[in-house]
Homo-oligomer: A and B are copies of this chain.
Amino acid sequence: MKGILVIIDGLGDLPNKLLGNKTPLEAAKTPHIDFFAARGEMGLMHPVRSGFVPESDEALLSIFGNEPTPGCRGQFEALGVGLNPLRGDLALRVNFATIDSIKSGKIVDRRVGRTLSSKEIDLLSKSLKNISLPVKFEFVPTIQHRGVLVFRGGMSEGVSGNDMVYSSGRVAMQERISLCIPKDDEENSHYTANILNEFVEKAAYVLREHPVNLSRVKKGLMPANYLLLRSAGVDFPKIKEYRRWCSMGYMPLEIGFAKKSSMGVFSFDYPKQKGFDAYENLEDGLNKACKFAIKIIKKQKDKFDYCYIHLRETDIAGHDNKPVEKKIMIEEIDRTLFKFLRNFAPQNKIKVAVTGDHSTPCKFKVHSADPVPVLLYDFQIPREKHFNEKEARNGSLGRIEGNEFLSRIGFDK
């Protein structure tokens, strides 16, 4: 193995009052990452380009040298959960969400407060299969409030989802539900929009009456009573091959992207969400992810040139405006994965790169155009240098006159 790339999702942030006007990364104690920082190079990255607010799929495409084609997320996620979408199959990313009522259309929480247990989601998802539509569809829940919706053939990608936060790309929160809208005058686009709206409407009725939700409401919990759709796509963009890479990811998007990039894909069973404390579960998942990543790195180091590790939980804390939790997540990554890498990478002469796919500033609760920090540790840094006239000429001490020498080198303190 030559290099390990760790992408910490939504890593970039802005100074936050809760952290004494530091960013979560600035506030976090990360001695192991800093070991690499002291011996490496840092910089900032615009995942797509300056001023651009990337979705995760666009950022990932760009970082791996592809065009940041929008609206591929559904396809990648479908591939990530094993649905193998073919060219022409319409795939969409879905969120279980909470709305006030269909009448008011007010969105209470885009993720049901992250309080859905895995068992509840399974039950809710099963009930969606009974929805009657003029076309066949498949709905697969993925992780937590997330799911994928696939229509096999015959549909158009010329439609928006009903999740306007992501459809518009604007950095603003959506307050009300909307319809899926055809993006062009093609008949099929209108037809597809109608089908999607029918699905959402029928799902809302199924969910509203679902025993899981009735029980949740009784307990004073948000019901998962609405579906938010986005990233309608019928084909993958053409992307680069990374056959000498392996990947360690556990979210459908990252798994699907790695599969499509011809990487060796490794994943693990993400812990089922049992209770209502999303963050307990997330920390558990992150810990499992870091440990699994270590295992993969050790096991695959002679088989692949590069390893791409994607850790997702930091982004969630950003979306939830939880700066302290984001800081804790970063520290957890440092304490597990980077504690291991600190010895492993130099010993095995493996480079380590760390970055985020984009910024998710806590105070915005959505992705932003802020650049993300980048770190490269190269075991060859400090690079070989020789003390001689030639190399000294370009040295960082510059030209000194004898009688300022001792003070210049600090031998007078």
Please give me the residue from chain B that is nearest to A371 by CB atom.
B399
Given the complex of chains A and B, what is the CA–CA distance between A408 and B47 in angstroms?
13
How many copies of this chain are found per oligomer?
A: 2
- Min Cβ gap A334→B in Å is 9
A400 on the B face (CB < 8 A): yes
Q: Which of B37, B370, B378, B405 contacts A385 (CB 8 A)?
A: B37
Chain A 1-26 interface mask (CB, 8 Å, partner B; 1/0)? 01101000000110000000001011
Q: Which of A43, A65, A390 has the most CB of B within 10 A?
A: A43
User: Chain B contacts of A64 at CB under 8 A?
Assistant: 406
Contact present for B44 and A411 (CB under 8 Å): no
User: Chain B contacts of A323 at CB under 8 A?
Assistant: none
Contact present for B373 and A388 (CB under 8 Å): yes
Given the complex of chains A and B, what is the CA–CA distance between A95 and B356 in angstroms?
70
A65 and B406 in contact, given A37-B387, A373-B389, A388-B25 (Cβ under 8 angstroms): yes
Chain A 393-413 interface mask (CB, 8 Å, partner B; 1/0)? 111111111110111011101
Given the complex of chains A and B, what is the CA–CA distance between A68 and B38 in angstroms?
40
User: Chain B contacts of A23 at CB under 8 A?
Assistant: 388-390
- Min Cβ gap A341→B in Å is 13
Q: Which of B13, B50, B397 contacts A41 (CB 8 A)?
A: B397
Interface residues of A in 219-272 (CB under 8 A from B): none
Given the complex of chains A and B, what is the CA–CA distance between A118 and B45 in angstroms?
69
A389 and B13 in contact, given A45-B401, A62-B403, A411-B353 (Cβ under 8 angstroms): yes
Contact present for A38 and B383 (CB under 8 Å): yes
Chain A 53-82 interface mask (CB, 8 Å, partner B; 1/0)? 010000100111110100000000000000
A44 and B396 in contact, given A34-B385, A385-B38 (Cβ under 8 angstroms): no
Interface residues of A in 128-157 (CB under 8 A from B): none
Contact present for B410 and A392 (CB under 8 Å): no
- Min Cβ gap A352→B in Å is 10
Please give me the residue from chain B that is nearest to A370 by CB atom.
B389
Contact present for A44 and B392 (CB under 8 Å): yes
Contact present for A392 and B406 (CB under 8 Å): no
Contact present for B402 and A37 (CB under 8 Å): no
Contact present for A409 and B376 (CB under 8 Å): yes
Q: Which of B41, B46, B59, B386 contacts A37 (CB 8 A)?
A: B386
User: Chain B contacts of A209 at CB under 8 A?
Assistant: none
Query: What are 17 A-B contacts defined by CB distance under 8 Å?
Result: A12-B389, A23-B388, A25-B389, A33-B387, A37-B385, A42-B394, A63-B403, A63-B405, A64-B406, A65-B407, A373-B395, A374-B405, A375-B387, A375-B392, A376-B397, A376-B410, A378-B410
Binding site for B on A (CB under 8 A): 2-3, 5, 12-13, 23, 25-26, 28, 30, 33-34, 36-39, 41-50, 54, 59, 62-66, 68, 306, 351, 353-355, 370-371, 373-376, 378, 382-403, 405-407, 409-411, 413
